[in-house]
Amino acid sequence: MSYAAVTALVVLAVGLSTLAPCLLAPVTGLRRSPGATLLLWQSASLAAVAAALLAAPVAAWGAGSRHPALLALAVLVSGGMALRLLVSGHRVGTGLRRLRSHHRDLVDLIAAPRDRPAIGLPAGRGLRVLDHPSPTAYCLPGHRGRIVLSAGTLDRLGPEELTAVLAHERAHLAARHDLVLELFSVLHHAVPARVRCEAALSEVHLLVEALADRRALHVTGPVPLARALVTLHEAAHPDATLGAGTTTARTRARLELIAAADAPRRWQSVLMVTSSLVVGLTPWLIAVAGL
């Protein structure tokens, strides 16, 4: 049984880290349930890591003496995954925090807090307004979170649209979507470049934006949010921030999701949550069976 378990764990690790993202990313219908679908993405990614890391212990426990080649393969898979995770986590984590810290200091230096009670965020609570005519809106996550708007944004958006933008950015900060994206970025870059699926990381970013849009919908409704999204279409924002601006394709997808928000697919959410549980438990069940 150990031989079969180790083989299954290796196949599962490779499949979930390389094939599954490329198969899930094109299924755009799953966007209608962004929270549940994001949970499935997380479960698949973490299950791939678990399967890879469990392969060597299971092989050493039962099949190592009888199948030295299998043990060597399992150790290679587990050790390789552990090493790549450590390297990727260090590079992604330190890089993001360095960029955010630098930009936070820069924003605090050139943009003083503004007292803007009309848009629901008075001075001293993290709002910064840049004196720039181009519209932009983004948040700097972290323990000292900032929401950054430009003067151009305040000029072009009405009160309801500004409220929608702020609700969207607050949702990012409150739910710590930066940590969700950081996890996926670490796992994404831990996979060898030749078999990485770039579309998967892009899809996860879209799901995170859709979640923040759902929060803004509860605050202002669909029309102000859609207007704000169109106005801020392709607005630039710095690296390592979560911004309102996006590409044409992603803007179109978000507008479609906003229009469809009144008809949620609850059956789809149930299916995604159930699938997440199954996928997440699978490597552990295989490991237990092989011991």
Q: Is the pLDDT of residue 31 over 70?
A: yes
Whether residue 254 is predicted with pLDDT greater than 50 in this model: the reply is yes
Higher-confidence position of 84 and 60: 84
Q: Which residue has the higher pLDDT, 250 or 285?
A: 285
120 pLDDT above the threshold of 60: no
- Residue matched to tokens 């059956």: 267
Average pLDDT of the segment spanning 102-115? 75
Whether residue 187 is predicted with pLDDT greater than 70 in this model: the reply is yes
What are the tokens at 55? 């392969």
Of the pLDDT bands very low, low, confident and very high (cuts 50, 70, 90), residue 126 is confident
DSSP letter string over 204-244?
A: HHHHHHHHHHHHHHHHH-HHHHHHHHHHTTT----TTSEES
| Residue 122 pLDDT > 50 | no
- Across the range 229-234, mean pLDDT stands at 86
pLDDT at residue number 63: 56
Q: Cβ distance 185 to 92 under 8 Å? A: yes
As a whole number, the mean pLDDT across the chain is 86
Q: What angle do CA 249, 34, 167 make, to 5 degrees?
A: 80
Neighbours of 251 (CB within 10 A): 19
Q: Is the pLDDT of residue 121 over 60?
A: no
Q: What is the pLDDT of residue 226?
A: 93
Which pairs from 150-157 meet CB under 8 Å and 24+ separation? 153/232, 153/235, 154/129, 156/231, 157/227, 157/228, 157/231
Q: Say if residue 66's pLDDT is above 90.
A: no
Q: What is the pTM (predicted TM-score) of this model?
A: 0.88
**How large is the average pLDDT for residues 202-223?**
93
Q: How many domains does the chain have?
A: 1
How many other C-beta atoms are found inside a 10 Å radius of the C-beta of residue 255? 17
Residue numbers of the domain that contains 84:
2-290
DSSP assigned state of 83 = H
Averaged over 145-174, what is the pLDDT? 90
DSSP notation for 3-59: HHHHHHHHHHHHIIIIIHHHHHTT-GGGGGSHHHHHHHHHHHHHHHHHHHHHHHHHI
Task: Give residue 146's pLDDT.
Answer: 86
In terms of pLDDT, which residue wins out, 203 or 290?
203
What pLDDT sits at residue 117? 45
Q: Is the pLDDT score of 291 beyond 80?
A: no
Q: At 224, is the pLDDT very low, low, confident or very high (cuts 50, 70, 90)?
A: very high
User: Is residue 118 predicted with pLDDT exceeding 50?
Assistant: no
Judge whether residue 244 has pLDDT over 90.
Answer: no
91 by DSSP, 3-state: which?
Answer: helix
Check residue 260 and give its pLDDT: 86
Q: Mean pLDDT lowest for which of 57-61, 103-107, 138-142, 149-153?
A: 57-61
